[in-house]
Chain A
């Protein structure tokens, strides 16, 4: 078990001699799922990411939905892997202690075109054999009384729901690390070069790595990675989605995930609970030429308008945060999960847009099949399928909290008052694998700063904890690595 940061651990000389069976580029949901599954086998597996934490880009700014599988065109890879993904998530969320709720979803129809659309989706669902029901107006309003009363019908998909995508990636990577995989963060791949001895040289900002197989799960950068290998038939552009997160006090506005009947641009704005009990509305669907993760006044207004149409509610009064994520839209209207057309040993998982989060386990299994074409896979006898997060006190019975506090009094010291996160929990995620190292990675693991005050109370206290536990000077404590420093130093000590 080992996590190394290319930046800090002096990988230079080691990197030149490090040889792997499989290197996965990208620690988003697809890379993490493939990592976990490959670590079942007797292989040397390395997971790389250019960012300071696992979780990728699109994988940490999305709708956090497990889609029912009725939406993609039957016969496409998206359709097959969506369905397979739902089934695997059922098992994986239990093995890996990932928060999930099978809330079911409703796609609402307000006019004739919408009804034609949900009728088409109903037939899709029947064709691919996922459970779907067509509900009339009364039944729709009975299930979800708060929706716009102009609703005329809806499509109900019982086997769909909500998941914590941060936890999912952390657990998948943690499972892989526990089973012998390795992780390098802050590591950017610059080139892939096929060597005469059959290996692929993975050139990075921290030196060269050698491997038999490369899995390209680089999200928005997947087409760029392909091009460095000389493969230029595929391109990707970002499609931005903007969201609002609302206070937990209104999290129970809806029971199901509520969609509008889709348009060619996507599934439109949805209204959903999150597994943590907040309300989530969004996304927009803006096609961009360059990656731009900014929210905009127009985009946020569009989200409010879309959500209010589905479920009339004064959302803006309860807003606590907004964010934007980028989906990787490929030049082919399906997932690309296949061997490279030009470089033997390179496997691409590219153009993974929605339902990528849902399909990730299915994509991972498809990737294993492709690896089998290249390597002989032998199952490890000691593979441990289970992963446990460090204890989350607000989810424990009082007697268990009491026991933990007796063992370590910092479990009784509340740091984040909104989400009730203790100092002990924060310290535990600095020690877990994959470890948190900054403010945002703590947020994604234990929710500190994710509550209604958005870190107003706990940020200064977490700066102290990070500085003390990781032995960092105050100006080395960051929000998300690199230059995202939270303060410029300590005026009293003059070490700025």
Chain B
């Protein structure tokens, strides 16, 4: 059994280790960067690993733990190696500094991560000077390269990466003029709003967005205005004299290779549909981590990947009868979108709500019929909520069922 893992971030490492432990003869991690770890080495803040390792770790520490597991489990690691083409028969074509390689594994696990949405994805008008960066790019330049990225900074987007980058730039000596958030609620975890903004006196402007970038060579200012019902409110525009605009406006799974395999891309996750083992509709092809949908915690990324790794070996690509799970009212994302039926382990469904819900009930329905229900408190779009099915609920699902997961407020 030969398992190829595309990507050597937390998901790829966890998948590879679990595949090896499950008895795969050969496991190869194909990583395009010069080191394992994915984005973790640049995430030098803490908050990782509480669920997966039972300890609060920094990103590099979390990556180091996984890397030690990889080393201990005789997984092959190819660095500076990028898959440039993936064929539906699982052939991978790889560019490396030694040449072009072709491999044809028995199972492929795509642990390809996500990319950040750029300025152009949200069409911020204005000039096109230097000094507009996505948060992850800024973080890489600060934490890996040691660059001084900006002196006067404005951040758009209050997702966790935006909040953490705002604090990081403040710690580097930059003046962070503010963080604007289009929605009326913060996009990141509550603890990050406190620890990254409030503790550093960085203003958070909810229901605000950047309406224009100014500057002919380097950014000279940004215009920020209040937003109501998707429209900017006239007369609320403020000018912030900054040299840097940091964007944290969303992540998208890096799904190009998955698309090349011929798998349809779901509009609400931006990647292929998977079952509870993270297997796609192509037997033996798995998508894990942020490549399958955007998770809130790296712990969940690693967890999802280990499930796939061992499944790939034990089941050798066989798949059972399937039901479909779709996001219903109030729910933006569900993972998985397929349920393999008749498995011994009862699956859980992960979901993200579309807006904050203080108290609510999640319902898994088949038409009008409620298959499962669970009460939740404090659901936030920033967090992935976990809906474990009960034995009898799972067994009640039939092949070909179209189930919806929706959230109701009392």
A interface list, Cβ under 8 A from B: 244-245, 249, 293-297, 299-300, 316, 319-323, 393-394, 398, 401-402, 405-406, 409-410, 412-414, 417-418, 420, 422, 439, 452-457, 459-460, 463-464, 474, 478-480, 482-493, 496
Report the stretch among B137-145, B284-292, B372-380 that lies at the interface. B137-145
- Chain A residues, Cβ within 8 Å of B151: 488
A422 with B95: CB separation less than 8 A: yes
B259 is an interface residue with CB less than 8 A from chain A? yes
B145 with A464: CB separation less than 8 A: yes
The answer, among A294, A402, A405, A464, for a CB contact under 8 Å with B125, is A294
Distance (Å) between the CB of A484 and the closest chain B CB?
A: 4
The residue on B at minimum CB distance from A246 is: B120
B121 is an interface residue with CB less than 8 A from chain A? yes
Within 8 A of A (CB), among B244-268: 254, 256, 259
In the docked arrangement, what's the CA distance between A294 and B222, Å?
13
10 smallest CB-CB distances across A and B, nearest first, come from: A321-B120, A454-B118, A409-B97, A492-B146, A479-B130, A412-B97, A414-B82, A487-B147, A488-B148, A483-B217
A244 with B123: CB separation less than 8 A: yes
B128 with A460: CB separation less than 8 A: no
B6 is an interface residue with CB less than 8 A from chain A? no
Question: Most B CB atoms within 10 A — which of A244, A453, A474, A482?
Answer: A453
Dominant SS among interface residues on chain B: mixed
User: Given that A414-B82, A456-B134 are known contacts, is A398 also in contact with B100, CB under 8 Å in the complex?
Assistant: yes
Query: 1/0 per residue B97-138: CB within 8 Å of A?
Result: 111100000000000000110111101011111110110110
The residue on B at minimum CB distance from A245 is: B120
B100 with A322: CB separation less than 8 A: no
How many chain-B residues does the 8 Å CB contact rule pick out?
49
What are 27 inter-chain pairs, A to B, with CB distance below 8 A? A294-B212, A296-B125, A322-B123, A393-B95, A394-B84, A401-B100, A402-B99, A405-B96, A412-B98, A413-B80, A413-B97, A452-B118, A453-B118, A454-B118, A456-B116, A457-B115, A463-B147, A478-B130, A479-B130, A479-B217, A480-B130, A480-B217, A484-B218, A485-B218, A486-B131, A488-B151, A491-B146
Distance (Å) between the CB of B230 and the closest chain A CB?
A: 12
A489 with B148: CB separation less than 8 A: yes
A323 with B128: CB separation less than 8 A: yes
In the docked arrangement, what's the CA distance between A484 and B84, Å?
32
In the docked arrangement, what's the CA distance between A321 and B133, Å?
14
- Chain A residues, Cβ within 8 Å of B123: 244, 295, 300, 316, 319, 322
In the docked arrangement, what's the CA distance between A52 and B130, Å?
14
Distance (Å) between the CB of A226 and the closest chain B CB?
A: 25
In the docked arrangement, what's the CA distance between A489 and B142, Å?
10
Query: 1/0 per residue B188-230: CB within 8 Å of A?
Result: 0000000000000000000000011000011000000000000
- Chain A residues, Cβ within 8 Å of B126: 294-295
Distance (Å) between the CB of A363 and the closest chain B CB?
A: 28
Distance (Å) between the CB of A365 and the closest chain B CB?
A: 34
Query: 1/0 per residue B68-103: CB within 8 Å of A?
Result: 000000000000101010000000010111111000
The residue on B at minimum CB distance from A321 is: B120
B145 with A297: CB separation less than 8 A: no
B405 is an interface residue with CB less than 8 A from chain A? no
User: Given that A319-B120, A402-B100, A405-B97 are known contacts, is A491 also in contact with B172, CB under 8 Å in the complex?
Assistant: yes
B217 with A482: CB separation less than 8 A: yes
B212 with A490: CB separation less than 8 A: no
In the docked arrangement, what's the CA distance between A420 and B131, Å?
24
The answer, among B32, B134, B150, for a CB contact under 8 Å with A414, is B32
